[in-house]
Amino acid sequence: MTAVEWLTAQLAPLVGQSWAVLVVYLALSAATIGFVLAAAPGLVWGMRKVMGHVQHRTGPYRVGPFGLLQPVADGIKLVSKEDIVPAGVDEFSWKLAVYVLPVPVFIVFLFIPWHPGFVVSNVATGIVLLLAVAAISPVGEVLAGWGSNNKYSVLGGLRAAAMDVAYEVPLVLAAASVVILTGSMEMQAIVEAQQGVWFFLVQPIGLFIFLIAGLAKIGVAPVDLAEAESEFVAGFHTEYSGMRFGLLFLTLFANIILISLLTSILFLGGWQAPLGLFDGVWWLLAKTVVIAVFLLTTWFTLPRVRVDQFMNLGWKLLFPLALVNMVIAGVLAKGGIV
Amino acid sequence: MAGIPEPYLPVAIMTGIGVAVVFIAVALSRFITPSRPSREKLTAYECGEEPVGSGRGPVDIQFYLYVLVFLILDLEAVFLIPFVVDFANLGTKAIVTMAVFVFLLLDGWIYAIQKGALEWQGS
């Protein structure tokens, strides 16, 4: 019995089946968005700390113990900044972009299998629906860039979209290799299939492709081509300020958490414990933190790649490599090795 | 809950909550922040200079070509995933059929490379 079924069964005698389902889903969705809204500022703190130590500084340490209240201070600053709507913007698309970018990221967190038997939205199409919803971002980027009526924003938005589409196919194909090994698209089934052998052991190329494509999706250095400060000021963020910028910033960090979670789930066994010790959400979170710190150190260590190099890598190398990787996964599945 | 498959219900709920959260965040800041617009503040950022012309000039055809190739390859990915779900139990005929399909699309990919459609802005 899954957690959602159990909760519904507890509530059903009180308010009736339909209302119980609705209430449970409402509560769990609210909890999920609460997690995202708490974890993203937490990651902002982690980002500043990691960045500080990578650069031989301490990072934030004045606001609260270990600077833990720094994100709160940032939040207050962002809320109280003047709401500037530049004169030339196309107001409809400019404002719409602030909805189109964060909301799909919130939705995607519903499909994450947190704990044995606990996933908020246990859809049969799991990973496909997840990647499909996550793939809405180029639309928001182009809307934001075009709506801003700023030369840097237009170029930044288009480049962000071009980068996203270039790496969408390798990302999906790397996930498809995992689907071959699992024999199911359900997120929970993918984690359960990794009992014993975590998929990064049999799919090292898949992990490699997924991490690079994930980095492209997040769009931070070394691949921050869409908001390269020395080329585009801030890309499609340029004309946003105050709370609207805050929401775009939140999306960036929610995306980092999302890619870290997905890498843990698809390749590192999700909530599966090493040596079979106490499976559970704590293992998923521990693996996610490891991947997130890895992504952050990559961000702060490597210089930016050139745009034509990175586009060529996606279209001409990672795409065929992902297909080859699928064939490898197919052979492994046919041979009954996994 | 008539007509909505149950596990998909949270997606609808989350869309509502997400839109509400964004709306409230923006409205809240509107409520508490000062509003002192000036001409300088409202111009598009162009390195502190007067903006020249419209921000939306013509852009390179490259972006369009990328999206065209993306459509083809993403379609391939979309067809591949349902196909591979039960891969371990598929017969030879099914696999050969899919291999032909993938080959046809790969042919398009090679054609795009030969035509230079995947070169970043004709470099």
Residue A218 contacts by C-beta under 8 Å, 6 or more apart in sequence? A252, A255, A256, A259, A295
**Does residue B104 belong to any structural domain of this protein?**
yes
Q: In this predicted structure, what is the pLDDT of residue B1?
A: 38
Q: Percent of chain A beyond pLDDT 70? A: 99
Q: Write down the mean pLDDT value for chain A.
A: 87
Same domain for B63 and B26:
no
**Does residue A164 belong to any structural domain of this protein?**
yes
Q: In this predicted structure, what is the pLDDT of residue B16?
A: 92
> Which parts of chain B register pLDDT below 50?
1-4
Domain of residue B120, residue span: 59-123
Residues of A in contact with B19 (CB under 8 A): 99, 103
**Does residue A318 belong to any structural domain of this protein?**
yes
- Choose between B11 and A9: higher pLDDT: B11
Q: In this predicted structure, what is the pLDDT of residue A261?
A: 92
Q: In this predicted structure, what is the pLDDT of residue B122?
A: 62
CA quadruple B47, A152, A238, A43: dihedral sign: negative
Residue A310 contacts by C-beta under 8 Å, 6 or more apart in sequence? A163, A216, A223, A225
Q: In this predicted structure, what is the pLDDT of residue A233?
A: 81
A207-239 pLDDT, tens digit per residue, is 999 999 999 988 887 888 777 777 778 888 888
Q: In this predicted structure, what is the pLDDT of residue A253?
A: 92
Chain B, 56-85: which have a CB under 8 Å from a chain A CB?
56-57, 59, 62-63, 66-67, 69-70, 73-74, 76-77, 80-81, 84-85
pTM assigned to the model = 0.89
Same domain for B115 and B63:
yes
Q: In this predicted structure, what is the pLDDT of residue B2?
A: 41
Same domain for B73 and B20:
no
Residue holding tokens 């196309």? A90
The amino acid at B25: A
| Residues A83, A246 contacting (CB under 8 angstroms) | no
What is the dihedral angle through the alpha carbons of B85, B91, B93, B99, rounded to the nearest 10 degrees? 40
| Residues A125, B82 contacting (CB under 8 angstroms) | no
Q: Which of B52, B84, B110, B114 to mutate to test the interface with A (most CBs of A within 10 A)?
A: B84
**Does residue A47 belong to any structural domain of this protein?**
no
What is the dihedral angle through the alpha carbons of A205, A210, A212, A216, rounded to the nearest 10 degrees? 160
Q: Which of B9, B24, B29 to mutate to test the interface with A (most CBs of A within 10 A)?
A: B29
A259-278 pLDDT, tens digit per residue, is 999 999 999 888 888 876 78
Nearest to A158 by CA among A173, A148, A172: A148
Q: CA–CA separation, B115 vs B108, rounded Å?
A: 10
| Cβ contact, residue pair B56, A154, below 8 Å | yes
**Does residue B53 belong to any structural domain of this protein?**
no
Residue B104 contacts by C-beta under 8 Å, 6 or more apart in sequence? none
HSE-CB at B70 with a 13 A cutoff on CA atoms is: 21
Domain count within chain A: 1
A56-107 pLDDT, tens digit per residue, is 998 888 888 888 888 889 888 888 888 888 888 888 999 899 999 999 999 9
Per-residue pLDDT, averaged over A29-42, amounts to 90
A140-152 pLDDT, tens digit per residue, is 998 998 888 888 8
Nearest to A302 by CA among A205, A224, A217: A224
